[in-house]
Every structure is written in C-alpha cells, then in structure tokens.
A and B are shown apart, each in its own frame.
Chain A
C-alpha cells in the first residue's frame, strides 16, 4: 500500500484532507520516521489510526474524559430513576421491581466509574441531575424518557469503545469494563421498551419518531442504517434481508457531541 498515494487521492474528493491530519509536515515526518525505524509491520495500524483520527472525532479524549462522560450519563440515569421512584407512579409488582433493579445498576455504575477515575488520579464529576422541569408527571411518559436515556446510553458507550482500546487501570481492561456496562444498558433498554409494548430491539421506524425519542435514533449514523463495513445487509449477503431486520440486527454509535446535544441527553441535564 502506498500511503502517500492514498492521501493524494483523498485530497481529490476532500480538499481538506491534509487539514484533517495534524499538519502535513507532521504527518510526513512521522511517516518518514516510521519507515526509518523499519517498523513496517506497524504501518497498517498507524495508517488506520491516522484515518480514524482524520475522519472520526477531531480530538481523541483522554481516558479520564471518556470515563467522566460515562459517569455523567450514569449520574443522569441514577437521578432520573430516583425521581421516578419518588414520584410514586410506577405500578407495584414487576414494573416497580424492574425500575428498582435498573436504579441499583446505575448506582453501582456511578460508584465503579467514580472509583476508577480516582484510581487514575482523575476527578470524578458529581452533582449531575435530571432537569426537574423536564421530568414527566405521568407514568407512560416517564417510561418514554427512560427508554430515551437507556437507548442513548447504549449508543454512547458503543461510541467510546475505540477510545478505550488497549486502555488499562492496573491489570483491568477498561474496554472490557465499559463493554460489561454497555450490555447491561442494552438489557435495561430492551426491558423498558417491552414495558412500553415496543420490540426489545430498535426497528428502522424508530428513527422517524417525534422528540424526545426520535433524536435518540438519529445522528450521523441513524439506527435505520443498513450498511455495515461497506456491506449492504439487505442486498449483499447472498440472502436478501428486510430493511427492518437489517437495521435492528446492528445497533449504532452516537458521538460524545451528539449525546450531549440538547436534543438528546444533554437536554435532560439540570443547568
């Protein structure tokens, strides 16, 4: 592979390609160094990170920043379920039991993330509250917002996996811990969705819902997306699949900026 040629070609369709990299000089200097050191085996990894840097999020957040972002969402969820419990509209029985289970997990996530951030000599965020004026009075709408928070959480954790690749706290893989939280959020999301008589997974039509749910399923990559790793799931797998099954079989990421936007979780944080 000729990296220089790729960059040349990219510049043809994307005039800013070189601006996306740190700087032309820096890129070519580090390429030169890589070659000089004879570390050719590492070149594909380098190229890969170069492009994800250029076309992904503009700056890579630190591990503590990623964990504090996750903690912010967990604090928001924890406070939401505390408010929901206090409001007293959740029916006794399985429903109340489920909300208690979910609240218990969010509290555990808050503690785990806070402890981890401290262990990394960082300062955990505190005092993130669900906006009182946005808290719904009736139980059905409370579930709508719970679904919005849970499905946003699933997309948010997924969006940070790449930033935690290879990151450790002592002997603990922070990526693995994040994945272990991520799938719990997905279990919560599935259950809340079924409490609302919705499918546990995300059908393509959810991307067209009105707010507050619609924005949860949109973004740069919408949940009705059917193309994964350049493969069109509906038409390029030998067997044809429906657009709905194609969309539901893969959840999608949201970036940090998208999650914190006022149309999504950012709009629920008490100012």
Chain B
C-alpha cells in the first residue's frame, strides 16, 4: 500500500501486470466474502490486554465484529444443546410431526453453532470463545409444555439478540449472515408460539404498536440467558 506512486504514469504501470495468472479459487476468495479484508479488520480489533477466559472463569466475548460473532456463537451453542436434548429424549406427548419438526430445528441450530465456530476460527484465529456448559436443570424434557415454554424463551430471545446486535457489525458480509439466520430463528419462534397457543406467532406480547419485533442489547440478552449457562459471560464490549 505504501508503495503507491503518485504520478501521471500510474495507469501505464498498473496496466502491465494485469495478465498475471490467477487461480479461479483465489478469485472467489476475494470476490465472495471479502475474506481477506475481513481477516484484517478483525485482527485490527485484537486486544492483547484481554484474555478470553479470565482466571475466575468469566468468558469474555470480546469486542468489535469478533465480539458479535462470539456472542452469536454463545447463543447458538445454548440453543443447539437444548434441541439436541429435545431430540435425544423427546417428550412422550409430542406428535410425530412435532418430533420431526423439532429434529429439523435441532439441525438448524447445530448448523448455526458449527458455522460460527468455523467462521470465527477462519476469520479471527485464536479469538474464539470455548465450548460452554449448559444448565438445563429447570427444564423437564419429558413434558411437552416445559420444552415448548423453554423453546419460546430461547427463540424470542435469539430474535431480539440478533435484531439488537446487527448495528454493531461493521462488515457487511457478516450483517447479511446475521440476517439470514435471524429470520430462521423468527420462523422457529413463530412455530413454537403457535404450538403453545394457536395464532400467537406474533401477538402483542412480542410485537409492539409500531409492528416491531423486540431488539435487545447484548448485555441484557446475556443477563436473560445466564441462568442456563455455567460459565459467566461478559458481553460488555461486544461491538464496541
């Protein structure tokens, strides 16, 4: 970058190497997800004064875009663990169709979790949070009602979390990914709500008079989710 010459012959100079061969694969690397730019942006947010897990066991989600990605990864870990249990020990009073649909939801959430893990490790090596330990003692997985109530909490919270975190992302490609996931979470939320009470997919308890879904700040979401996670999470610098 510092070698750029400021003179009138610059175009002639740049024209010369335009025929250097390139592998198709590299092209997609550059044009696809602006991966190179992203990696630089993330490394710029690296904080050497911040450990990911502090001596007292607190998990620091980090700052900047990688903080938002870690935050999403934490929530997806929680949801994936929950639905994995629902799938492994389905409530006896679930219908066959409900079981099938919850198996699909379990796959969606596991995919989200694994995707974030892969993306963070690729774009921000060394900055990913560890695997978290869920606490599901308050949930009776043998009862449909208990499972549905928890699913509703997690899905509505997930939607509000993504809605509130989008504005903290600086990389457009990540914002699009977050948008691609949040609408799937909203579909899950609507489905679960309708199972609890038909027609409650978007009722006044969750949608305001302006027709808006909830949006929550990272620290508030973590406070709401903390009782389900053993490790203490610090979201205070997410997106900052």
Q: Which residues of A contact B117 (CB under 8 A)?
A: 237
A112, B210: Cβ atoms under 8 Å? Answer: yes
Report the separation of the CA atoms of residues A27 and B27 in the bound assembly, to the nearest whole angstrom: 19
Contact flags B172-213 to A (C-beta < 8 A → 1, else 0): 110111011111111111110010001101110001011111
Interface size class of B (residues with CB under 8 A): 35 or more
User: Other CB < 8 Å A-B pairs besides A97-B199, A190-B187, 10 of them?
Assistant: A4-B4, A4-B14, A101-B203, A106-B211, A158-B176, A180-B163, A187-B213, A200-B191, A228-B180, A248-B184
Q: How far is the CB of A207 from chain B (nearest CB, A)?
A: 15
Q: Which residues of A contact B190 (CB under 8 A)?
A: 186-188, 190-191, 200
B2, A199: Cβ atoms under 8 Å? Answer: no
A1 at the interface (CB under 8 A from B): yes
Q: Which residues of B contact A35 (CB under 8 A)?
A: 1-2, 4
Q: Considering the complex, which residues of chain B in the window 12-38 have a beta carbon less than 8 Å from any beta carbon of chain A?
A: 14, 17-22, 24, 26-38
Q: How far is the CB of A17 from chain B (nearest CB, A)?
A: 9
B159, A161: Cβ atoms under 8 Å? Answer: no
B104, A245: Cβ atoms under 8 Å? Answer: yes
Q: Which residues of A contact B28 (CB under 8 A)?
A: 230
- Closest B residue by C-beta to A102: B202
B114 at the interface (CB under 8 A from A): yes
A22 at the interface (CB under 8 A from B): no
A85 at the interface (CB under 8 A from B): no
A175, B166: Cβ atoms under 8 Å? Answer: yes
Listed stretches B46-54, B105-113, B138-146; interface member: B105-113
Q: List 17 A-B contacts (CB under 8 A).
A: A5-B17, A28-B14, A44-B44, A45-B41, A112-B210, A154-B183, A175-B166, A176-B164, A183-B185, A184-B211, A185-B183, A188-B202, A228-B180, A229-B32, A230-B32, A248-B104, A248-B184
